[in-house]
């Protein structure tokens, strides 16, 4: 079990605050114990939230990997001809690292400023977001969109346009409650439905 890069500093910071609280508690418990508990609680929450487990599942030929952990909100066409959109809600309890659904070349990264609605609401589609397009063999493509929620409002993208990605490779991370949208050609058979619990790079999302 590893940790996302942004979480390491927060974990270390909480541990340092806890250590300082411990030293103060040795001199005055009423002053030091709250600082100790606060620091350790913050470090523990950061370690849990920024956890980044290894995922090494080998998918069957033609399977697309789910890009995120969470709960499927919807599977439908949202007005763009020929495109099915799968929306996944990530609570603060889910792993927040996103992964590539398929092998290919990252041909587009588009960051868009937007609102900060609650991530499971329909209006979250207009939130601040980052869209990544992966093009593969035989004209196949998939787009993964990282969408912020209403709390931390930060998106991290680990790659750049032109990079080649492997299926299951880390694409980036969204901080705290958030949503991931996956845009698929309609000739893809989606294997999940609203309400399903999914895991990034573990659940088969769709089949070519």
State how far the Cα of 154 lies from the Cα of 175, in Å rounded to an integer: 6
State how far the Cα of 75 lies from the Cα of 87, in Å rounded to an integer: 7
Contact 199, 67 (CB under 8 A): no
150 is catalytic: no
CA–CA distance from 93 to each of 151, 174, 189 (Å)? 14, 13, 29
Output the CA angle 16-29-45, nearest 5 degrees. 40
Pairing mode, strands 51-52 and 2-3 = antiparallel
Q: CB within 8 A of 20, min separation 6: which ones?
A: 35, 39
User: In what helix (H) or strand (E) does residue 10 lie, and over which residues does it extend?
Assistant: helix 5-27
Domain(s) labelled CATH 2.70.70.10 in the chain stretch across 63-207
Predicted local confidence at residue 59, as pLDDT: 96
Class of domain 63-207: mainly beta
Would you say residue 4 has pLDDT above 90? no
**pLDDT (tens digit per residue) in 120-164:** 777 777 888 999 999 999 999 999 999 987 776 688 899 999 999
**pLDDT (tens digit per residue) in 41-52:** 877 877 777 788
């Amino acid at each position: 079990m590893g940790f996302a890069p942004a979480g390491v500093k927060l974990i270390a910071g909480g541990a340092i605050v806890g250590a300082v609280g411990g030293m103060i508690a040795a001199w005055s418990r009423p002053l030091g114990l709250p600082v100790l508990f606060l620091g350790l609680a913050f470090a523990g929450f950061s370690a849990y939230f920024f956890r980044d487990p290894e995922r090494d599942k080998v998918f069957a030929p033609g399977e697309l990997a789910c890009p995120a952990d969470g709960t499927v909100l919807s599977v439908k066409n949202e007005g763009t001809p020929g495109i099915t959109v799968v929306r996944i809600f990530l609570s603060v309890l889910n792993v927040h690292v996103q992964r590539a659904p398929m092998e290919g070349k990252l041909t587009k990264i588009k960051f868009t400023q937007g609102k900060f609605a609650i991530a499971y609401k329909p209006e979250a589609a207009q939130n601040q977001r980052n869209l990544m397009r992966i093009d593969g063999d035989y004209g196949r493509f998939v787009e993964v969109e990282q969408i912020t929620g209403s709390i931390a409002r930060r998106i991290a993208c680990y790659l750049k346009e032109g990079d080649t990605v492997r299926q299951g490779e880390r694409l980036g991370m969204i901080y705290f409650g958030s949503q991931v949208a996956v845009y698929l050609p309609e000739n893809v058979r989606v294997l999940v439905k609203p309400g399903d619990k999914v895991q990034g790079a573990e659940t088969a999302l769709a089949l070519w």
